[in-house]
Structure 1
Amino acid sequence: MSDAYVALEGGSVVEARCRAPGTSRGELVFTTAYTGYEESLTDPSYEEQILTFSYPLIGNYGVREERFESDRVHPRAVVARELTDDVAEWLESEGVPAVDRLDTRDLVGQIRDGGAMKCGIAAGPDATPEDATAALADCPGMSDHEDIGAQVSVARTKTYSGDGTTDTEVALLDCGAKGSIVDSLLERGATVHVLPYDTPPGEVADLDPDVLFVSNGPGDPANFESARALVDEFVGEVPLAGICLGQQVIARALGGSTEKMDFGHRGVNQPVRDLRTDRVVMTTQNHGYTVADPGDLDVTQVNVNDDTPEGLESDDLQVLTRQYHPEANPGPNDTLGFFDDVLAMAGEERRTPVAAD
């Protein structure tokens, strides 16, 4: 007898096994990553979403806090073919519902065919299909989360110092930043000021940073209006960098536009081609929106599968952005040199890229 139910926007209800009890709702998405489940589950970009793992076994190398990208689990619920006890107990301790023993191949196929969809989940000994359906009925769309940045950003500025090998100071606008972005800058000696997502221009001016860096984050970039305004204030005066949501915010500030994708890019094997060198690299990605019009920026890299922009640049404006996650946690290390290029914009000599483990 089932003790968990997954209600889908199309009207069907799927039976499952409860691994962590609770009721939740969110946008149902999937990742193709077969490792890095700890990093994925603590990635703030999954806020307000229900994460489905397409790989069948999740948890086969345990749970270690040093791999976390933030201080908590961000998906509203977790779906897998099979979860190990380690992961299930972790999710239960975090209060995040989790279910398994359902056909995730079919579920991923439905998302690919119909796009990311609203979902309700009810799990536990007293759960009913009606509970899951009620949760679904209460589920907002991703664009409805107008202040989602407040859920994932630091409340006040935090400063982290590198090893002193460079005096570059980076103002990192935290729209839901992964911890490994900060680590990648610190490893290159920079001082990193992590700022709340709605930091006013005057406070950034007081810091007088060498680079303004807009982080990744969840939801619709149109809902990060304060970040867009900050970019508009400093473009042409301070070098600008961005990752994922950061690329989208910067493009919007410079006359471009964004759009929602059908089911997004989420995984560790997304191929990206550099239009200048024709070289293809493998990348880690997690986003449901993309740049539709780059505005004043040049598209320098594209996704091999669908030609969506993966890199935007402007030498004149000193702007450098990537849609994927060059910090590579989890994922391949092909693109770590991005952080050297960001520091080079600030007048620093290019440093040796961090070696792969």
Structure 2
Amino acid sequence: MTDAYVALEGERVVEARCRSPGKTNGELVFTTAYTGYEESLTDPSYEEQLLTFSYPLIGNYGVREERFESDRVQPNGALAREFTDDVAEWLESEDAPAVDHLDTRDIVTEIRDNGAMKCGIAAGPDVTEEDALEQLRECKHMSDHTDIGAQVSVAEPEVHNADGDGKTVALVDCGAKGSIISSLVERDAVVHVLPYDADADDVAAVDPDLLFISNGPGDPENFEAAGEVVDTYVGDVPIAGICLGQQVVANALGGETEKMEFGHRGVNQPVRDLRTDRVVMTTQNHGYTVAEPGENLEVTQVNVNDDTPEGLENEDLGIITRQYHPEANPGPNDSLDFFDDVLALAE
């Protein structure tokens, strides 16, 4: 019996099975990761999106809280060919609508052909196709979520590893994954996590050795405060950024960003270093990219598949950014030395 419907942009409706009831909408995207569903579902960069898993079986090694990247499920909803009961029960406990028993190959192909799209989901007893279509009509474009940072950032400053002997990091939390903080703490850094709308005075109060702009969801142009902080401290304090952080830094230094057709999401994205010609496999989750780095940043790494910038640097200004996630979680771990490199900037 059909008890769930997925309405795609263009108003095509797909039947499915309810695994976690509810009505929701968001930008429909997909990840190619075979594993790491716990990390993906708790990644703040998926805020206001509906996450489709291209791998057919999700949940075959259970659900363990120690793998979470944040304290809650972040996507508005989830789709899979099949969710195990463990994952379905977890999603229901988090009030995150979820559906399965649909052809995710067809969904992924449509996203690849037509780009990330608006989508509505209605799942549960007595729902109708019209319920899903109504959700679709209410869905907003990602760029219209102008204050999305407030949904994923800390409300008040936090300090991690306060007694550490390493460098002091001011991390502007635009939706930071927990493993970014952990990667810095493992290197004995004292990490001050600041809200996404922190200003220059908030950073000055930390007196950092390094300014770090985190990953996060949505359009980088909606993170104006983070860009202003970068503009204030560039040349005075070393600056690092991951994912959205790279885009924010580029915009602040005169570059340009743009929305991608369907983005990069998965753990199998190849990146080539232009100086060494070495290729590493990376974890990625982003729907925007740097279109023009501007005069102040050099592109040092590119995506092998489409040549989009994956690394930007300026040695004189002490800037290193990455579009992918060096902290991985889920892997691969090819790029963990990024954190050693950025902390070395503060020496």
TM-score by length of 1: 0.96
Correspondence 1:313-324 to 2 at 5 A = 313-324=313-324
Q: Deviations over 1:159-185 (max 9, x none)?
A: 011773x43000000000000000000
After TM superposition, list the pairs within 5 Å mapping 1:143-158 onto structure 2. Answer: 143-158=143-158
The separation in 2 between residues aligned to 1:162 and 1:105, in whole angstroms, is 47
Deviation at 1:203, TM superposition (A): 1.5
Asked whether the equivalents of residues 119 and 139 of structure 1 are also in contact (C-alpha less than 8 Å), the reply is yes
1:281 is paired with a residue whose SS is: strand
Aligned residues with identical type, % of pairs: 76
- Residue 201 of structure 2 aligns to a residue whose secondary structure is helix
Which position in structure 1 is the counterpart of 2:22?
Answer: 22
Helix, strand or coil at the partner of 2:301: strand
Match of 1:39 in 2: 39
Deviations 1:253-309 (A, max 9, x none): 000000000000000000000000000000000000000010110000000000000
**CA separation in 2, counterparts of 1:163 and 1:343?**
17
**Cα separation, 2, equivalents of 1:318 and 1:39:** 31
Deviations 1:206-258 (A, max 9, x none): 21100000000000000000110110010000000000000000000000000
Superposed counterparts of 1:139-288, under 5 Å: 139-161=139-161, 164=164, 166-288=165-287
Paired letter, 1:189? D
Q: What pairs with 1:122-137 in structure 2 (closer than 5 Å)?
A: 122-137=122-137
Q: 2:96 & 2:225 partners in 1: Cα distance?
A: 30
SS of alignment partner, residue 62 of structure 1: coil
Equivalent position of 1:351 in the other structure: none
Are 1:214 and 1:241, in contact at CA under 8 Å, matched by a contact in 2?
yes
Count, aligned residues: 346
| Paired residues for 1:1-16 under 5 Å | 1-16=1-16
Q: Give 1:125 shift.
A: 1.0
Partner SS, residue 233 of structure 1? helix
**Distance between the aligned counterparts of 1:230 and 1:331, measured in 2?**
31
What's the TM-score, normalizing by structure 2? Answer: 0.99
Which secondary structure state, in structure 1, belongs to the residue aligned with residue 325 of structure 2? coil
Asked if 1 retains the 8 angstrom alpha-carbon contact of 2:166 and 2:187, the reply is no
Could you say what secondary structure the match of 1:74 adopts? coil
Partner SS, residue 71 of structure 2: coil
Q: Is the 8 A contact 2:69 2:178 kept in 1?
A: yes
Amino acid at match of 2:253: L
- Alpha-carbon RMSD across the aligned residues, in angstroms, is 0.7
Question: Residues 174 and 194 of structure 1 are in contact (CA less than 8 Å); yes or no, is this contact kept in structure 2?
Answer: yes
SS in 2 for 1:33: coil
Residue 101 of structure 1 pairs with residue 101 of structure 2: yes
- SS of alignment partner, residue 73 of structure 2: coil
Secondary structure class of the residue paired with 1:45: helix
Residues 280 and 229 (structure 1 numbering): CA distance in 2 closer, same or farther, change over 3 Å? same
Secondary structure of the 1:122 match is strand
What CA distance in whole angstroms lies between the structure 2 residues aligned with 1:186 and 1:203?
Answer: 21
- Asked whether the 8 Å contact 1:162–1:188 carries over to 2, the reply is no
Q: Distance in 1 between matches of 2:66 and 2:206?
A: 30
Structure 1 stretches of at least 4 aligned residues deviating more than 4 Å after TM superposition:
none
1:203 and 1:138 mapped to 2: Cα distance? Answer: 37
